[in-house]
């Protein structure tokens, strides 16, 4: 299913055709319009092309910063998972050693009991 979206931004109008849902397209358009207004208010630029270019640049900057944050979160999670795996391995190793020690103690106690019976 294709949808047409009429864009009217900075005095320029055109229509795009896409497979995206209409609600999603409207959401993206409203986000872009808000970004354009924000760029106009913080920059003081009045030329439409410059506003559009600067808005695109600022949005790309925001996307890259979000990607960096996501990568950092993924690294932190991976480190946490690796640490958890190491702890699980250590716990398993301690458990196995404890079982071996208990087994040796039982063997020694059995020898002690056998020696006492003699």
C-alpha torsion angle, residues 46, 7, 67, 74 (rounded to 10): 150
pTM of the model: 0.60
Give the pLDDT band of residue 115 (cuts 50, 70, 90).
Answer: low
3-54 pLDDT, tens digit each? 888 888 888 898 989 898 889 888 988 999 999 999 999 999 989 999 999 9
44-87 pLDDT, tens digit each? 998 999 999 999 999 999 999 999 999 988 888 888 777 778 78
51 within 8 A of 40, measured Cβ to Cβ: yes
Q: What is the distance between the alpha carbons of residues 85 and 108, in angstroms, rounded to a whole number? A: 34
Look up residue 103 and give its DSSP letter. H
Query: Tell me, what's the pLDDT at 114?
Result: 59
Look up residue 6 and give its DSSP letter. E
């Amino acid at each position: 299913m294709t949808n047409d979206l009429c864009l009217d931004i900075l005095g320029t109008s055109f229509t795009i055709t896409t497979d995206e849902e209409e609600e999603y397209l409207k959401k993206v358009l409203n986000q872009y319009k808000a970004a354009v207004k924000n760029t106009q208010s913080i920059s003081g630029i009045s030329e439409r092309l410059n506003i559009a270019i600067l808005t695109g640049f600022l949005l790309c900057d925001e996307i890259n910063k979000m990607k960096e944050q996501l990568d950092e979160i993924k690294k932190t999670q991976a480190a946490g998972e690796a640490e958890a795996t190491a702890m699980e391995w250590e716990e398993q190793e301690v458990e196995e050693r404890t079982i071996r020690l208990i087994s040796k103690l039982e063997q020694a106690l059995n020898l002690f009991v056998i020696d006492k019976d003699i």
